[in-house]
Amino acid sequence: MGQIRLDKLLADAGYGTRSQVRQLVRKKQVTVNGEPAKGAEQKIDVDEDQVQCMGRPVFYAEYEYYMLNKPAGVVSAVTDSRDKTVVELIEERQRRDLFPVGRLDKDTEGLLLITNDGILANRLLAPGRHVDKTYYAEVDGPVTQMDVRLFAEGLDIGEEKRTLPARLVIEESGRELSKVWLTITEGKFHQVKRMFQAVGRRVLFLKRLSMGTLTLDPELKPGEYRKLTDPELLELKRQGR
């Protein structure tokens, strides 16, 4: 990785702003290889030097990647004045610049990638990429084979262009409730809900199960998260090329 300024290392690791971590250095709260830091501008070899802040080891991570099973009631944002955010759920994060890749509505559950890798995020979210996103949904009333055909043809959801073809699979269709799987390749605002609204149905429950090559770990309960495995990250980066 090479060398990095001490104040940047500490700020990126979540110990405060540049000015705040400089205060920690001045107060002798930071050591490098067992000795008090010489100054906030001191260059640190992140592969060799051992840094501690207030007695705790400081580890540098250039990028972090987390799979989150987003619970309902939490917003897909970095900060929010009223509600808890998905980034706040990642308690063990080392980076302070994490953000969600894309958005899930406040009442929607499921897979969300949390990272600070802006290049990968832009590639996955680019409109021309058409990355598959699969959802499980429960809707009021019956869903029919006619709906399957309409979704495959593209729907008018009140925008200039119709939605791109989507794959709708009916698991169970009932008079009061239907259970379906839906795969779309876009990320329009409230898209899944608006698509069902276009065929006279209302979404009662929505959960994202996959995005591209990344599939939600069934072991993760709502609100739980884990770091991506090396194979998961490799496949995701391949897709984002």
**Which residues belong to the active site?**
105
What span, in angstroms and rounded, lies between the C-alpha atoms of 229 and 241? Answer: 19
Q: 40 is written with which tokens?
A: 């906030």
The C-alpha angle 187, 192, 194, rounded to 5 degrees, equals 105
The C-alpha angle 127, 131, 160, rounded to 5 degrees, equals 40
The C-alpha angle 172, 207, 111, rounded to 5 degrees, equals 140
Cβ neighbors of 62 (< 8 A, separation 6 or more) are 1
Work out whether strand 203-211 and strand 109-115 pair parallel, antiparallel, or are unpaired: parallel
Q: For the chain, how many residues are written?
A: 241
Q: 34 is written with which tokens?
A: 């067992």
- Count CA within 13 A, CB hemisphere, residue 112: 33
